[in-house]
Structure 1
Amino acid sequence: MRPLKVGIQLPEVEREVRWPELRAMALAAEEIGLDSVWVGDHLLYRDPQLGARGPWEAWSLLAALAAATVRVELGPLVACTAFHNPALLAKQAATVDELSQGRLILGLGAGWNRVEFDAFGIPYDHRVSRFDEALTIIRRLLAGEEVSFAGVYHQTDAAVLLPAPARPGGIPLMIGSIGERMLQLGLPHASAWNAWYTWFGNSPEGYRSLRARVDVACRQVGRDPATVERSVALMVGFHDAVGRTSFEPDSPLSALPGDDPDATAAALRALAAEGVSHVQLVLDPITRESIERLSPVLQRLG
């Protein structure tokens, strides 16, 4: 039995990818035994050297992936609550969970890339306060409540999800943030917490300090840290890596060596020993062939 779940993130803006290739990648993930497939929730990136690039809309893509796959868990990594009316986002999540027959993990965050906010006319101010209100509406609707909410940024009037979500126990919520206030808002309600690989140096050693920060935040909100699942995104590079072009401002990091399955499996085992239960691999290059190259890593994990 594997010590942790292993998934992949599909291409976002590394290059332009059409649906037939995205579908083929998701099916390859199922075929080799990966546990999950994830998509980013972004609208637009702009870079002085690379120009403008954008991904497909996340929830439309998740619905298509739900119909195309049969086993893997699916989720946004992570959904930006600012891009969506929160009640409608809850409705979209419930619909994708129904289409996938209970395979959705609802990752949520407040967003960070101001370029896309401005381009699409979405307010960038008070993002965490907006997230707070959105999370309240989303989690209550997904719990089956009729929700009337009069917030500063969001309002509902006897909103309810019908048909009612049928998944026993509800859709798991995953919070993607290391901000102190975001952790305070999300951890009382989340099933899981997620960290992006640039936040901890893409290494098991770097993850340790983040784990301690989340443990402290759990205790501050009265939550047993052991009850919050930990997941992380990890960068894995192969010999034909082209360099990611997602316009991340962080310094270049060392990718896990995808061509060395023993080393990559060892890093995953080290993260599992630190309490990580789910990883989302970000591949360079991100192709069907790269996904298939992960098979030896999975074999070594058991």
Structure 2
Amino acid sequence: MRIGLQVGITNTLPRPAGDYLSRIAEEADQAGFATLTVPDHFSLRPESTPFLSRDKNAPAVTDFFEAWSVLAFIAARTKRIKLSTIVSGITMRYPAVLVKTADTLDALSNGRAYLGLGASPDFGADEHQRMGLPFPPAGERVARLEEVLQMAIQLWSGEDRPFEGSYYQLSSTIGAPFYLQQPHPPILIAGQGNRMLRLMAKYADLVSIGFGRGIDDMRAKLETLRGYCEVLNRPYEDIQKTTLFMAPLVHGGHVDQAALDYLQALADLGVDEVMIRYPDDPATFEQIATTVIPVVENMSVAGR
């Protein structure tokens, strides 16, 4: 099993933010974290968002650094670690531009980028309205996501033909993509519902599911994913499985055995990678790097 690192990129970062992010990225690269991910938002109100503080003294709006700019900045300061958003909602940018952005990052990072995509969460409505971005109903967002996935694959093919979708149209997809990974940058899809799981089975190289909801929920989601793979005649093992792990791994300077047992249970379900949040305490980061990562890397993943 692998451990990835999710790094917050809000306006609460210590300043200068560039120095802070450089240090985190270099430490994560050297420590052996498999992936570094950042959230892709622009500006969120706490009352509209499940994961922001609702403290009455909290700022009215939490602003985020632009995610793909941050990943490009980090790419220049690292050599090994994979890079992704978790994830880019397809309503946030015009799709062909987003694909070109991921293509460029993969080329400039020497083949370390994922194209992380999602259908945009329901809590994003306020953010979209304030940024002047359309926010269609959930069902349409999922349908749009499938078209974006189809568009990405056609753009990466370099074929000279139009893309004719119900929501998006391109006059031609001719071109010479820059990416280095083959057959293209891996597609990472995050989501929960049955329609999203079907898209994962059809298009994803990696999936992010679970979001800390527990082993039973993860087991059920993975069984649904497996079922869709069987219907589509796609090997379930072709898809890498990841999930966010929100609980602390270290308590009072000691590795939490219950947390390690939970990670082993995830590995037994076939989860390839867990994403943890960056710990603010340097001693905790050091303990994760020197103790937790070696233990987790020795956990056998079911089906691998």
Instruction: Please give the TM-score of this superposition, normalised by the length of structure 1.
Output: 0.83
Secondary structure of 1:74's aligned partner: strand
Q: Which residue of 2 aligns with 1:211?
A: 222
Using the TM superposition, name which of 167-176 and 262-271 deviates more.
Answer: 262-271
Report the more deviating stretch, 106-115 or 151-160.
151-160
Label 1:299 to 1:166 Cα distance change in 2 as closer, same or farther (>3 A).
closer
Unaligned runs of 5+ in 1: 241-256
Pairwise mapping of residues 111-150 of structure 1 onto structure 2 (< 5 A)? Answer: 111-112=120-121, 113-125=124-136, 126-150=140-164
**Alpha-carbon distance in structure 1 between the residues aligned to 2:158 and 2:273:** 27
Pair 286,187 (structure 1): closer, same or farther in 2 beyond 3 Å: farther
**Greater strand percent: which structure?**
1
For 1:251, the equivalent position in structure 2 comes to none
1:293 alignment counterpart:
287
State whether structure 2 residue 67 is matched by structure 1 residue 72: no
Task: Please give the residue correspondences for 1:22-101 in structure 2 after superposition, counting only pairs within 5 Å.
Answer: 22-48=21-47, 49=56, 50=58, 51-101=60-110
Paired with 1:102 and 1:280, the residues of 2 have a C-alpha distance of: 20
Question: Where in structure 2 are there 5+ consecutive unaligned residues?
Answer: 48-55, 299-304
| 1:237 alignment partner, one of 242, 245, 248 | 248
Cα distance in structure 2, aligned partners of 1:259 and 1:53: 33
Q: 1:55: Cα distance to partner?
A: 1.4
1:177 to 191, 194, 209: 191
CA distance in 2, matches of 1:155, 1:288: 49
CA distance in 1, matches of 2:210, 2:253: 18
CA distance in 1, matches of 2:12, 2:146: 33
Distance 1:226-1:140 versus aligned 2 partners, 3 A rule = same
Instruction: Report 1:135-284 matches (<5 A).
Output: 135-198=149-212, 200-201=213-214, 204-237=215-248, 259-283=254-278
Between 226-235 and 41-50, report the one with greater CA deviation. 41-50
2:13 is aligned, of 9, 13, 16, to: 16
The superposition leaves residues 213-264 of structure 1 with CA deviations (integer Å, 9 ceiling, x where unpaired) of: 2112222333232222211111133779xxxxxxxxxxxxxxxx98424333
Paired with 1:136 and 1:298, the residues of 2 have a C-alpha distance of: 36
Secondary structure in structure 1 of the residue aligned to 2:117: strand
C-alpha spacing 1:289/1:108, structure 2 compared with 1 (3 Å): farther
In 2 relative to 1, CA 106–209 (structure 1 residues): closer, same or farther, beyond 3 Å?
A: same
- The one-letter amino acid paired with 1:36 is T
3-state SS of 1:188 partner: helix
Q: What secondary structure is seen at the aligned counterpart in 1 of 2:233?
A: coil
CA distance in 2, matches of 1:264, 1:15: 28
Q: Distance in 2 between matches of 1:163 and 1:300?
A: 39
Q: CA deviation at 1:103?
A: 0.9
Q: Distance in 2 between matches of 1:290 and 1:196?
A: 25
- Asked if structure 1 preserves the Cα contact closer than 8 Å seen for 2:210 and 2:244, the reply is yes
Distance 1:258 1:220 in 2: 48
**Residues 288, 260 of structure 1: CA spacing in aligned structure 2 closer, same or farther, 3 A cutoff?**
closer
CA 1:207/1:196 → structure 2, altered by over 3 Å: closer, same or farther?
A: closer
Question: CA separation in 2, counterparts of 1:145 and 1:233?
Answer: 37
1:89–1:138 contact (8 Å) kept in structure 2: no
Report how far residue 287 of structure 1 moved. Answer: 5.7
Root-mean-square deviation (Å): 2.4
**C-alpha deviation, 1:288, in angstroms:** 5.2
Residue 235 to residue 87, structure 1, CA distance change in 2 (3 Å): same
CA distance in 2: counterparts of 1:166 and 1:160, whole angstroms: 18
Partner of 2:51: none
